Chains A and B, each alone.
Chain A
Amino acid sequence: MSSKMEIVQAADMSLAAMHCARCADGFEPNEKIVNSNGELWHTQCFVCAQCFRPFEDGIFYEFEGRKYCERDFHVLFAPCCNKCGEFVIGRVIKAMGASWHPQCFRCQMCAKELADTGFIRNQNRALCHECNAKVKAEITGRYMCHKCHGVIDDAPLRFRGEVYHGYHFNCTSCGVELDSTAREVKSRPGLTANDMNELYCLRCHDKMGIPICGACRRPIEERVVTALGKHWHVEHFVCAKCEKPFLGHRHYEKRGLAYCETHYHQLFGNLCFVCNQVIAGDVFTALNKAWCVHHFACSICDMKMTQKSKFYEYDEKPVCKKCYERFPNELRQRLRKAHEMSMKKNF
């Protein structure tokens, strides 16, 4: 700290009680005495502790009880700014392992002064809170609140095309503080981001009776498809296999899922080999094929067969015993031989 000295006349004081703060000797009558902060000095003793010269303009700097001229004090003790390289006089910002002028210590992304707002060290950069949040959100894939610019740790609340902390909003109806489960209700149907939209808590939204789509969990404001015990957006009610919307075409249900005709048959194969129709009732399964009750029959004479009927296999088609016995002898011989060969190969 620099101080100003004061020169007083020794005559004004009682000399016997006074001594120099540096050499401890007394003062001559009428000798000029330096008075600084209540301490007295010979003028030749009141000099820089480093260069022993008097202080220019009487300005000195004090450090650990010793006084220095401006030049020597800077050389010996003053910090250099890590940015501009100049001595830092006055307020020194100690940060990031270095010293800075307050006006030199700024956010490395947005260049905002950090002296009074504080900073966050991020990958060896000093960043303001906003920029740090931005960087963090980018890295973790998390959202940044459009209102407070903080990272949204939980699920974001989506509103008018932006993401927010839920707690910045209250339910339009009951006033409760909201979270990510809040619903945006469109005031102008057909427009997603809409400055007339309003937010409701789940409870109030449910009371409004707007159906929720079973696929996207968002409210359905346009046409509603009701199937599988749920409501769906027309374009979200799709085949579980090809994901194409049915758009009013027939769908088939199996184990809580809906399929288009093609994929239902492809996956579950319950097409009757004869009528090529979906088998509604009991299914006969044999020879890698399926039959409806009406069409499970001998492939040669079309005589109906039951689950208990014995049949022969001819190119993976069922042949009743009667018909098989009417096959030409040479064919039966060949079939028998082939059957024996395949048995031999398999066992």
Chain B
Amino acid sequence: MSQSCLPVNAKMSKAKKVLDEARETQNRELDLVDKGISSFEELPGLFNMSYITRLTLSHNKITMISPGIANLLNLEILNLSNNGLRELPVSLSSMPKLRILNVSLNRLDSLPRGFGAFPVLEVLDLSYNNLNENVLPGNFFMIETLRALYLGDNDFEHIPRELGNLKNLQILGLRDNDLLDLPREIGELTRLRELHIQNNRLQVLPPEVGNLDLLGSKSVMKMEENPWVVPIQEQYLLGISHVIEYIKTETYKILYNRHIKSERGPPPPKADKSKKASRVRA
């Protein structure tokens, strides 16, 4: 091995070392966590390692993903949690084997057009970004293979009714948004067994939520910290099962219909989000 006389960035050499080792051992799972990486340019030859199935780049400072990542034709898991990503390349959506994409804890303000074209994506973690319904691409809810969708810690006020297309969805995370309502189509997600809607601005639940199996031993329903109408709040204090039973009643359906037709303004946003790390300018 020859000694380089160029001054080498210490962290960069660390990442390179991992890559070299992986190439030597033909390791299909690549861990590059907390290596101070700020760009894919610091990972030379990575895109030629088309045999890798997992790439984990959490806790780095990456702001942009090179479109070349789509060369990793065997990649199944891509984890870019806690970086500085502001946008994603649309080429991600064409990766033929990508099943799990974690871009939580970034600074995403939007998603690229055509983002929903993933052929086999099962888990999409977009938690803790700056996303809302206006920046979702038109085909976002076309990812029919999706099992879990995490949108917690974002800025959604509404969820499009196309949500009902996600027939395989088992987990829907909407915690800590600004949600004013949920679409009735949520009742079409027959496989849903985890619903996180705590800390929003919800006053009512669509009665269709009562159709879902959210009371089983393997189900989770979290709905605290919302300005619920009084009857829901009362039932909530008794337990989730009481809420589900209550929203199935005719009485509630009448209340719900009256509520969504009323002209009352939405409850005010309660959280000051300016301190969110995803917003603070680096």
Contact = CB atoms under 8 A, between A and B. Distances in A.
A315 B82 contact: no
Interface stretch (A129-137, A246-254, A326-334): A326-334
Given A288-B219, A328-B105, A274 B277 contact: no
Interface residues of A, number: 25
Contacts, number: 83
B276 interface: yes
A317 B175 CA distance: 13
Nearest to B216: A288
A338 interface: yes
A316 to B, nearest CB: 6
B56 A302 contact: yes
B150 A315 contact: yes
B224 A316 contact: no
A326 B122 contact: no
B224 A276 contact: no
A338 B224 contact: yes
Most chain B CB within 10 A, of A300, A323, A342, is at A300
A269 B170 CA distance: 12
B102 A341 contact: no
Nearest to B31: A302
Nearest to B198: A338
Given A276-B122, A330-B276, A341-B225, A302 B58 contact: yes
B199 A338 contact: yes
Contacts of A274: 77, 100, 123
Nearest to B199: A338
A338 B225 contact: yes
Q: How large is the interface on B (under 10, 10 to 19, 20 to 34, 35 or more residues)?
A: 35 or more
A175 B31 CA distance: 78
A269 B147 CA distance: 14
A164 B196 CA distance: 64
A288 B194 contact: yes
Contact of B224 (A300, A327, A334, A342): A342
B122 A315 contact: no
Contacts of A331: 128, 153, 276-277
B275 interface: yes
Nearest to A274: B100
Given A302-B31, A316-B220, A326-B82, A334 B176 contact: yes
B226 interface: no
Contact of A315 (B56, B81, B173, B224): B173
Interface string A316-347: 11000001001111110010001001100100
A301 B277 contact: no
A170 interface: no
Contacts of A194: none
A274 to B, nearest CB: 7
A301 B79 CA distance: 8
B200 interface: no
A197 interface: no
Interface in B121-135: 122-123, 125, 127-128
Contacts of A288: 193-194, 218-220
A300 B198 contact: no
A301 B81 contact: yes
B58 A300 contact: yes
A315 B79 contact: no
Nearest to A289: B218
Contact of A300 (B104, B123, B277): B104
Contacts of A317: 150
A299 B82 CA distance: 12
B23 interface: no
Contacts of A338: 198-199, 224-225
Contacts of B102: 299-300
Given A328-B276, A330-B275, A301 B225 contact: no
Contact of A323 (B58, B199, B218): B58
B54 interface: yes
B152 interface: yes
A109 interface: no
A98 interface: no
Contacts of A345: 224
B201 interface: no
A345 B223 CA distance: 13
Interface in B85-135: 99-100, 102, 104-105, 122-123, 125, 127-128
B69 interface: no
23 contacts: A269-B218, A274-B77, A288-B193, A301-B33, A301-B58, A301-B59, A301-B81, A302-B54, A302-B77, A302-B79, A315-B152, A315-B196, A316-B171, A316-B220, A323-B58, A323-B81, A323-B82, A327-B82, A328-B105, A330-B277, A331-B276, A338-B225, A341-B224
8 residue pairs, one from A and one from B, having the closest CB atoms: A328-B277, A302-B56, A315-B173, A301-B58, A301-B33, A300-B81, A330-B275, A288-B218
Interface of A: 269, 274, 276, 288, 299-303, 314-317, 323, 326-331, 334, 338, 341-342, 345
Given A302-B79, A328-B128, 5 more contacts: A299-B125, A302-B58, A315-B150, A316-B220, A345-B224
